[in-house]
Amino acid sequence: MELTAKHTVHSQKRCQQRGVTEQMIDDTIHFGEMVRKQGLRYFIMTKKCLSYFHQKQYNERLQNTVVILNPDNSILTVYKNSRALKNIKKKSKELFKKHS
């Protein structure tokens, strides 16, 4: 998948705070597992996806990285979460639920 993602101000700040590099973002987008929910695309670097890389130290840093892309391919945010895939799959399909 050829994808050029641009940062939002928020995502740049989060990358700096969380020590996530551009290479980590690119690898997560290209090799991670993608889930579509709430009009967004979530890319998660699961342990299974790490088979593409052979550097143990890099794998440890990369594992559980999550990159969220807006529909316009801008990066909404990045973070790390060991339960990300499970949590994301639990999200409702709608962006906002209507309260009755």
* Sequence spans of domains, the chain: 6-90
Read off the pLDDT band of 1 (50, 70, 90).
very low
- Local structure of residue 71 (DSSP, 8 states): T
CA angle, corner 28, sides to 92 and 26, nearest 5?
125
Sign for the pseudo-dihedral over CA of 78, 79, 80, 86: negative
| pLDDT (tens digit per residue) in 67-93 | 999 999 899 999 998 888 877 877 666
Instruction: Tell me which amino acid residue 53 is.
Output: F
| pLDDT (tens digit per residue) in 29-73 | 999 999 998 889 999 999 888 887 778 888 999 999 999 999 998
